[in-house]
């Protein structure tokens, strides 16, 4: 009886008949394991070298340019951190930084709210849902050149359809791309329009991973739709939400074509973001060192924001 009991105990622990139940000691420094490690490192080496050449060399060269007073064809003299001091004391930089902040906040949270709302709508039974999904993806699928050209045609001149419609109903002919305030609002709305499909797909994938029985149990307990949304939907999709915020923040800060193709950064620099400001500094003013310094400051800001949001992901208790 004792033998049988001991055998069952060993079986529960996964020990074969006749085994001692003690873990086998493996030689961690066996020649075979060392050979595998060396093979793995040799196979990894080409990829590491390629990444260093593609990303490392431009980064080092940009750092050299940021500390020199040169141009696109000449490195120039070494000036240390003077380029960073010059751009940080420039009012134009802070004006561009202010618009970049507004553009990013509206782009991230505006597209997230619209995308999440549409993702929740697509979970319901609506007619021709498949066609509706395809139509909602069009703003993101269509090339940005085509989209910006279409918006310029709709809003660019007093004779464009939207200003003409405003004039027809007695609201005057607003110059959406010529008035500084209206131009900034238009660019932000355009960013939301071209970005909400990405947020919609991110939100839809997060909502699909939530077990429907959770909502059924909440309904049986008397939870309202709003309580289900705030206590179930948002917490269970928190990690996906933070990831989408990180990605969209990077997209907005680095978004050059959306702004440049629609307004060119005008009027009177009202829609000039940091990336447009860096482009003008390098390719129009031919101040390469200062333009690259702006790019480094943008990169540092993105790293800080990404780290903050990444910590929020780690704090989330939802698995």
CB atoms closer than 10 angstroms to residue 192: 20
The pLDDT value given to residue 26: 52
Q: Note whether residue 214 is domain-resident.
A: yes
Find all residues with CB under 8 Å of 4, minimum gap 6, and list them. Answer: none
| 46: three-class secondary structure by DSSP | helix
Residue-wise pLDDT tens digits, 85-125? 999 999 999 999 999 999 999 999 999 999 999 988 888 87
Cβ pair 104, 252 in contact under 8 A: yes
Residue-wise pLDDT tens digits, 283-315? 888 888 999 999 999 988 888 888 888 887 777
Find the helix packing angle between 238-253 and 180-208, rounded to 10°. 150
% residues pLDDT > 90 (the chain):
26
The pLDDT value given to residue 25: 52
Find tokens 């355009």 and name the residue. 190
Cβ pair 219, 202 in contact under 8 A: no
Q: Note whether residue 53 is domain-resident.
A: no
Structural domain harbouring 148 = 89-315
User: Cis bond leading into 136, ω under 30°?
Assistant: no
Q: Note whether residue 41 is domain-resident.
A: no
pTM: predicted TM-score of the whole model, two decimal places: 0.80
Residue-wise pLDDT tens digits, 41-52? 888 888 888 888
Comparing C-alpha atoms, which of 122, 145, 93, 113 is closest to residue 301? 93
The pLDDT of residue 60 is above 70: yes
Residue 183's pLDDT band, with cuts at 50, 70 and 90, is very high
Integer-rounded Cα radius of gyration of the chain = 28
The pLDDT of residue 80 is above 50: yes
The pLDDT value given to residue 318: 44
User: Length of the chain, please?
Assistant: 319
Cβ pair 190, 207 in contact under 8 A: no
The pLDDT of residue 279 is above 80: yes
Residue 195's pLDDT band, with cuts at 50, 70 and 90, is very high
The pLDDT value given to residue 317: 52
CATH code, domain carrying 97: 1.10.3720.10
- Work out the mean pLDDT of the chain and round it to a whole number: 83
Using left for φ > 0, alpha for ψ between -120 and 50, and beta otherwise, residue 318 falls in beta
Q: Note whether residue 77 is domain-resident.
A: no
Q: Is the dihedral of CA 120, 121, 125, 130 positive or negative?
A: negative
Residue 225's pLDDT band, with cuts at 50, 70 and 90, is confident
Span of 14-28, 53-67, 74-88, 292-306 with lowest mean pLDDT: 14-28
User: Cis bond leading into 267, ω under 30°?
Assistant: yes
CB atoms closer than 10 angstroms to residue 43: 9
The pLDDT value given to residue 316: 64
Measure the CA–CA gap between 259 and 144, rounded to whole angstroms: 10
Q: Note whether residue 5 is domain-resident.
A: no
Measure the CA–CA gap between 253 and 105, rounded to whole angstroms: 10
> What does DSSP say about strands 77-78 and 68-69: parallel, antiparallel, or unpaired?
antiparallel
Q: How many independent structural domains does the chain possess?
A: 1
Q: Note whether residue 48 is domain-resident.
A: no
> What number is the average pLDDT over the span 64-86?
87
Q: What is the dihedral of CA 75, 81, 84, 89, to 10 degrees?
A: -130
Q: Note whether residue 78 is domain-resident.
A: no
Residue 116: exposed, middle, or buried by beta-carbon count in 10 A (0-12, 13-18, 19+)? buried
The pLDDT value given to residue 22: 54
Using left for φ > 0, alpha for ψ between -120 and 50, and beta otherwise, residue 26 falls in beta
> What number is the average pLDDT over the span 249-267?
90
Q: Note whether residue 121 is domain-resident.
A: yes
Span of 127-136, 143-152, 302-311 with lowest mean pLDDT: 127-136
Residue 11's pLDDT band, with cuts at 50, 70 and 90, is very low
SS3 content of the chain, % helix, strand, coil (to 5): 70, 0, 25
> What number is the average pLDDT over the span 237-259?
89
Measure the CA–CA gap between 109 and 38, rounded to whole angstroms: 47
């Amino acid at each position: 009886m004792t033998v049988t009991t001991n055998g069952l105990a060993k079986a529960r622990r996964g020990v074969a008949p006749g085994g001692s139940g003690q873990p086998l000691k493996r030689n961690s420094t066996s020649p075979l394991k060392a050979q595998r490690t060396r093979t793995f490192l040799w196979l990894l080496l080409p990829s590491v070298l390629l990444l260093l050449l593609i990303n490392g060399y431009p980064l080092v060269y940009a750092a050299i340019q940021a500390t020199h007073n040169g141009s696109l064809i000449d490195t120039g003299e070494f000036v240390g951190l003077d380029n960073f001091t010059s751009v940080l004391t420039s009012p134009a930089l802070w004006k561009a930084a202010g618009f970049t902040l507004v553009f990013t906040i509206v782009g991230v949270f505006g597209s997230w709210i619209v995308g999440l709302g549409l993702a929740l709508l697509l979970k319901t039974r609506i007619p021709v849902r498949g066609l509706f999904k395809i139509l909602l993806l069009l703003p993101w699928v269509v090339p940005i050149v085509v989209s910006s050209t279409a918006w310029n045609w709709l809003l660019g001149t007093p004779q464009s359809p939207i200003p003409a419609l405003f004039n027809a109903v007695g609201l005057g002919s607003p110059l959406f791309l010529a008035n500084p305030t209206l131009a900034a609002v238009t660019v932000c709305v355009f960013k939301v329009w071209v970005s909400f499909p990405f947020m919609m797909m991110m939100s839809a994938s997060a909502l699909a991973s939530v077990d429907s029985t959770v909502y059924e149990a909440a309904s049986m307990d008397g939870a309202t739709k709003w309580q289900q949304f705030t206590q179930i939907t948002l917490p269970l999709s928190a990690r996906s939400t933070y990831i989408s915020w990180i990605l969209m923040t990077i997209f907005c800060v680095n978004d050059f074509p959306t702004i440049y193709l629609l307004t060119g950064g005008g009027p009177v620099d009202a829609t000039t973001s940091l990336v447009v400001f860096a482009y003008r500094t390098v390719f129009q003013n031919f101040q390469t060192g200062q333009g690259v310094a702006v790019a480094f400051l943008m990169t540092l800001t993105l790293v800080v924001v990404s780290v903050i949001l990444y910590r929020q992901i780690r704090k989330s208790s939802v698995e």
